[in-house]
């Protein structure tokens, strides 16, 4: 491939990712979900994997540790998540949703799936698979921890 041809991909990728996040955030705001898109990602993963440590959760959601620390701070200020001392390791926390957090996840989950659907109008299932394949290939091409 010639260089000029694909020089624009990073711009398109970045602007689309921002549009997707921004659209979702707007919908969250109109629906008074009272969490950000990134906070939702953390809540959702925590619902699926209770009792994980911050390090494990950071790997699940692909955020670095300082970022996750701050998101957990905000979620715990909102009363949705609690840090509990790990019984063996005093450096570590086990994170879990509060009752309020569980309720939040249950009520938002279906509404958020609907919001996410909007992006795929005029696109087919095979488009989705192509898209996933290309994104994952790019990711691996640039991943220095891929063992190659």
Partner DNA sequence: TACCAATAGTTAGTATGACAAATATATGAA
Partner DNA sequence: TTCATATATTTGTCATACTAACTATTGGTA
Q: Which residues of the shown chain bind a copy of itself in the complex (CB under 8 A)?
A: 1, 3-24, 41, 62, 113-114, 116-125, 127-128, 130-132, 134-139, 141-143
Half-sphere exposure of 82 (CA within 13 A, CB side): 9
Comparing CB distances to DNA, the nearer of 36 and 102 is 36
Partner touching 93 among a copy of itself, DNA, none, CB below 5 to 8 Å by kind: DNA
In whole angstroms, the minimum distance from the beta carbon of 79 to a copy of itself comes to 25
Residue 95 DSSP label: E
In whole angstroms, the minimum distance from the beta carbon of 75 to DNA comes to 9
In whole angstroms, the minimum distance from the beta carbon of 88 to a copy of itself comes to 32
Comparing CB distances to a copy of itself, the nearer of 38 and 102 is 38
* Token pair 């809540």 in the structure block, residue: 43
Tokens (6 digits) for 12: 């398109």
CA distance linking residue 66 with residue 118, whole number of Å: 32
Residue 93 and residue 54 in contact, taking contact as beta carbons nearer than 8 Å: yes
């Amino acid at each position: 491939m010639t260089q000029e041809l694909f020089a624009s991909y990073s711009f398109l990728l970045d602007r689309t990712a921002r549009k997707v996040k921004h659209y979702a955030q707007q919908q969250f705001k109109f629906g008074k979900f009272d969490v950000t898109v990134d906070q939702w990602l953390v809540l959702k993963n925590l619902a699926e994997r209770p009792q994980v440590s911050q390090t494990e959760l950071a790997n699940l959601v692909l955020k670095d540790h300082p970022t996750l620390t701050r998101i957990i701070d905000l979620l715990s200020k909102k009363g949705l998540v609690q840090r509990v001392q790990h019984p063996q390791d005093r450096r570590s926390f086990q994170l879990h949703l509060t009752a309020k957090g569980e309720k939040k996840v249950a009520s938002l989950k279906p509404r958020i799936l609907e919001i996410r659907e909007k992006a795929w109008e005029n696109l087919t299932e095979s488009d989705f698979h192509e898209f996933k394949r290309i994104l994952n290939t790019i990711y691996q091409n640039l991943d220095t921890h891929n063992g190659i």
